[in-house]
A and B are shown apart, each in its own frame.
Chain A
């Protein structure tokens, strides 16, 4: 395992994570080929071949790789880690894959886009598929049955607990129920931005200056207050400098416009793009109307937001 030494300007270390055990064999993947080595010649990592920009196995230039890395990183869950003091930040690899680094294991580079080790960087879809969830431990493999399995030989699909393939008629749910869920799935796919469905309402949240976006499910919140505290937690690493000036943000009793205060008082303003494509100030309309019309959100710098508020007011007036 390589030891992370320097960080490039977006804070990605050079270390490669070890592969997740069950799904793929680590031997088949050469992550070094996808390590980011932009602009850091001679950093001294023993595993570096040279400091120049290299190409990965598939022969794609790393420049393209970098942009794809950022995109695919955003699709995965990750926990934020702050590179203390420097003002830069890093992000960790996705749930379950912990690299054993010399330094105490906080910092990981994202898994290569070309996760399967095969050629082609298109889509990053295989990365998305490999993500089991937002870092929450997956129960399925942790629980190995102790008692002897009663199944006969021919049900070999169940013989490996890790496989857990679907068994006929289990769980015991009537067909009509399965069919109705299949044709009208309550969950949104990530592809549809803020599509108005009955299950989730995921919208992208970007923050000026951050290299990756987050997604929040507006259905999880019942009011602007809840949304603001969630966003604050999510983006706290970016505003950590600003938070200090308002005191430690309290976990409870966050007032309704706290984020507005926080953001208005600091460099940032929370805005959203509505169904008409206009950028609006968050907080003007009733919560339900907001969730209905919000397609994506942007935490923009106040400097850019000048002139936004008056326009937002006009828009609301004409709407009402």
Chain B
């Protein structure tokens, strides 16, 4: 054979090794981003990757069809699916919009009979679907429903009844029809495989004895988050039966009878040596809080967003939590409480401060810029913040990001729309300029306050790693949005509401949208014609307009644009127009 050909043959021989080996290697790869990269290397790597993949994460259920997924990935055991646009959490998406799990479940039952895990976010799930799920997958182990709707506790009863190997049941923050707590009693008496149980957001009473027996039987229980109907007197009875708990969500922490039960509670918490996560604590008081202290030594995540603590109480509690990395609080702790956070939590990476009275504009409670500044001085490792407040200044934000340049997620919500810097009365542009300039690793940004196009010029210019941007009541003209679409090379999700951005802005992103997951624009200045132009120019995008009753014919009230290989939706309700 001639020398050229020989070289080619040698090359191929050296660079090929058996697919089985490659698959074995690739099975270790968990990150879906890595897997995506691997699959692009060459055909054989693409095949090896798709056979070795056991978990698939679909960030937009309409970007792909169940058939395409099942064709590409034959060996899936675990699925994560996200449905509605994020603003549906705030009632901006009408009911019955879609994202129904049904068609996916039908495909799973046919192609993935050994499915073990299903994690859904913002999907519509009916009781029938839950029953179908419970009956179709004998190996089913983990169900997680976050911010979903369409089901009731009857569906949960079906899961409890039929899923013999269930290890995880995580029902969080859903819009469900909570008919009764009897679903919990549906777990069979010999059922013992549960490791994760979270029903913190359900409102009906469960049978406590049934719960107690369940916890007793499930010797591997690691995560238990109960609802607020479970009393402080009942809690120790659960704790002593769950010695391996690493995550605890308590029920009500209100002490009805002062002296007697306190010692039981203290004893129970003394034994909780392994807790790394604590939540719940609704109705907590200064009297009952100290019982917790012994269990806090190893806490890394404390969610106090249901506990209306005052500053003094928080300060005393934090002294006992030296390892805290994530903290969620209500703004009842006020600036003084946040000062305590700054003083006691040097390892803190994430802080979320939720408002107690978001709709009461006249209140003078809550947190201000001082609290945030205090945290930034004490917690230099802060990388994730969600902060609801009623006043802020540019100077404060500049100080904060100077102290904490490692922010990856910066979500600031000044609750009154269009509110300027309350000291200088200027727009908050300089604040976000400081954020994007100082925080080079910034991935997620939510802006608020009075903002002109200048903010978006800064964002487009400096936010090189930004992936998610949320904008409300901001900007002066199309130019703002154009700057963002023209900059921000890694932008994936852009969600905008009530801003003066129109067709020119929308159409300036033609080149960008295919590299993005989605764009949401509601109550802006985009018209139907603008959307039609976009749809025409970019056939691989789904351009959907949600029409609101009684609105102007030519206005595009809510626009949702996303890339898809599935083509236009086949299940769109009448108020969703696909252009």
Contacts and interface: CB of A to CB of B under 8 A. Distances in A.
A152 B258 contact: no
B307 interface: yes
Interface stretch (A58-66, A167-175, A245-253): A167-175
Interface stretch (A5-13, A40-48, A137-145): A137-145
Contact of A139 (B175, B390, B470, B475): B390
A189 interface: no
A168 B450 contact: no
A150 B283 contact: no
Contacts of B282: 180, 184, 198
Secondary structure class of chain A's binding surface, majority of residues: loop
Nearest to A220: B310
A152 B499 CA distance: 10
Interface in B400-441: 413, 415-420, 422, 425, 427
B354 interface: yes
A181 interface: yes
Given A164-B361, A174-B173, A186-B330, A145 B418 contact: yes
Nearest to B418: A145
A145 B450 contact: yes
Interface stretch (B84-92, B369-377, B507-515): B84-92
Interface string B483-514: 00000000000000111100000000000000
B417 A198 contact: no
B254 interface: yes
A133 B91 contact: no
B473 A150 contact: yes
Contacts of A150: 473, 475, 498-500, 523-525
A168 B523 CA distance: 11
B228 interface: yes
B416 A184 contact: no
Interface in B442-481: 450, 452, 470, 472-473, 475-476
B361 A147 contact: no
B523 A176 contact: no
Interface string B64-94: 0000000000000000000000010111100
A151 interface: yes
B416 A164 contact: yes
B358 interface: yes
Contacts of A317: none
B327 interface: no
A199 B308 CA distance: 6
Interface string A201-244: 00000000000000000011110000000000000000000000
Contacts of A133: 362-364
Nearest to B557: A152
Contacts of A219: 286, 310, 312-313
A196 B285 contact: yes
Interface in A115-139: 132-133, 136, 138-139
A176 B555 contact: no
A154 interface: yes
B379 interface: no
Nearest to B476: A147
B356 A181 contact: yes
Nearest to B87: A169
B388 A171 contact: yes
A268 B175 CA distance: 57
A288 B551 CA distance: 57
Interface residues of B, number: 72
B498 A143 contact: no
Contacts of B330: 186
Given A171-B413, A222-B312, A146 B450 contact: yes
Nearest to B93: A169
A166 interface: yes
Contacts of A103: none
A168 B286 contact: no
Contacts of B417: 145, 158, 167, 170
Interface residues of A, number: 49
Contacts of B555: 152
Interface string A171-200: 111111110110110110000000011110
B500 A186 contact: no
A184 B418 contact: no
A174 B89 contact: yes
Nearest to A151: B498
Interface string A80-119: 0000000000000000000000000000000000000000
A90 B310 CA distance: 33
Contacts of A154: 550-551
A294 to B, nearest CB: 13
A149 B308 contact: no
Contact of B90 (A136, A173, A187): A173
Contact of A292 (B201, B258, B413): B258
A125 B552 CA distance: 43
A72 interface: no
B332 A199 contact: yes
Interface string B10-31: 0000000000000000000000
Contacts of A143: 416, 419-420, 422, 425
B90 A151 contact: no
B287 A148 contact: no
A184 B283 contact: yes
A168 B500 contact: no
B519 interface: no
Contact of B287 (A140, A180, A197, A292): A292
13 contacts: A139-B361, A146-B420, A147-B450, A152-B523, A169-B497, A170-B472, A170-B473, A175-B91, A187-B357, A198-B282, A198-B307, A199-B308, A292-B287
Interface of A: 132-133, 136, 138-140, 143, 145-152, 154-155, 158, 164, 166-178, 180-181, 183-184, 186-187, 196-199, 219-222, 288, 291-292
Given A138-B362, A172-B470, A172-B472, 8 more contacts: A139-B390, A139-B422, A140-B361, A143-B419, A169-B87, A178-B358, A186-B308, A197-B283
Give me the 9 closest cross-chain CB pairs, A-B, nearest first.
A186-B308, A169-B90, A145-B418, A150-B500, A199-B308, A176-B173, A222-B312, A198-B283, A171-B415
